[in-house]
Structures are given as structure tokens and as C-alpha cells.
Amino acid sequence: MKFFVDTADTKDIADLAATGLIDGVTTNPSLIAKSGRPFADVIAEICALTPGPVSAEVVATDYDGMIKEARKLAKIASNVTVKLPLTLDGLKACKTLTGEGTQVNVTLCFSANQALLAAKAGATFISPFIGRLDDIHLDGMDLIHEIRQIYDNYLFDTEILAASIRTPNHVKLCALAGADVMTAPPAVIKSLVNHPLTDKGLEIFLADAKKAGIKV
């Protein structure tokens, strides 16, 4: 499973990119607004930090506006993936853009039917929002399983990009369900390495090495 980091903080992206664990980046207008910097400048800097896809979202909601903004975003760097909302105009824009060779991430997916439409429109990625479904007392992971089965039934090329990931358990369950990609905040990705038995074992090893006078 590919790991994308969901942030516009270039320091966090650089730190995680250095580990070799990150395959791409997802952003949205809310995340970039927190940086207080011009939108295009932030996207350009992020694209320089990773060779993988960098999702940059349009803010227009009509077809013509989305196409205009998407083409502008795509010129920032070759690894920009245009992020579009899962609406009829968004799907229409998706079809146009993928036909032009631009990668598209269709976002705000909350049903298997929506995911089916995105695949038929040629989406590169579909982003089902796990955590937000959990918030309304639905099991977000059921959606990943449903999309996986539908895409496998018809051999769609669209990759399932599990989003709104909030816990390490979400990551594990998405991997078990067959999501192609997961995107999560830096803190969640960094927390995947943590386990109390690892910490305890390291503590014991270091204490024994010190007691034995071992030096490497």
C-alpha cells in the first residue's frame, strides 16, 4: 500500500520524505490556508520535495471554473494531481482532464456508487473518507471493502486512496481491505512505528549492553 501524507507543512513532508516511506502528498485549501502563503508557491515547494503525486484542489464548483483552475494547477509541476469534488460537474471535469493526460483525485466520496461513477469518469484516484463516515456512526471500512470488490469485478484502473485516516488502526484495516493508497496526517504516520514492547525491548538491550561494557 502506498503512503501519502496529508498536510501542507513542508517541514513535515521533508522529514517524512527522508525516511523513504512517503509516496505522495495530499493537500486541500484548508491545509494550505494554515500556511499563510500563496497557494501556488506551497504546491510548487511540495512538488519539489517528492516525485510522487501531489494533490492540489480546485475551489471552483462549476465545470468551466474547475477546468480553468485545473489547467493552471497542472502547469505548476509535472507531479501535480488535480483534486476535484465528487459532483456531476466534477466528474465531467475529471473525464476532460484525464483525457488530456492529467492525473485526477476525485475527493469527498462517501458511497460505493459514487466510487463507481468516478472510475467510469477515468479518475486516477478515488478518495473515500473513512473518519467522517465513522463520525456519523457508519463503518468507513465497509466502504473500502465495497469499492475494492466493485473495482476488481470490472478491472477499473482507479486507485482507492483511503482518506480521513485518524488512527493507526485505520491504516491497518485499510491495508487488510486492499486500499491502494492511504493518506494520513504526519502524526498518524509517525505513530505507526510505536509499540510498547519495542520500547521495552530496546530499553533492556541497552541496559544489558551498558552492563557488559559493549561498544560498537
Q: What is the pLDDT of residues 132-191, one digit of tens each?
A: 999 999 999 999 999 999 999 999 999 999 999 999 999 999 999 999 999 999 999 999
Residue 35 pLDDT > 90, yes or no? no
- Fold of the 2-212 domain: TIM Barrel (3.20.20)
**How do residues 47-62 score in pLDDT, each as one tens digit?**
999 999 999 999 999 9
The helix/strand/coil state of 162 is: strand
β-strand partners of 128: 109
Q: How many helices (H) and strands (E) does the chain have?
A: 11, 8
> Is the pLDDT assigned to residue 77 strictly greater than 90?
yes
> Any idea where the domains of the chain sit in the sequence?
2-212
Q: Who's near 16: CB < 8 A, 6+ residues apart?
A: 5, 22, 186, 189, 190
Task: Quote the pLDDT of residue 215.
Answer: 86
83 is catalytic: yes
Q: Report the chain's mean pLDDT, rounded to a whole number.
A: 96
Find the catalytic residue in 2, 68, 72, 83: 83
Dihedral sign, Cα of residue 42, residue 38, residue 66, residue 30: positive
Cβ-contact 181, 125 below 8 angstroms: yes
pLDDT for the residue numbered 192: 97
| Grid coordinates given for 133 | 463516515
Q: What percent of the chain has pLDDT over 90?
A: 94
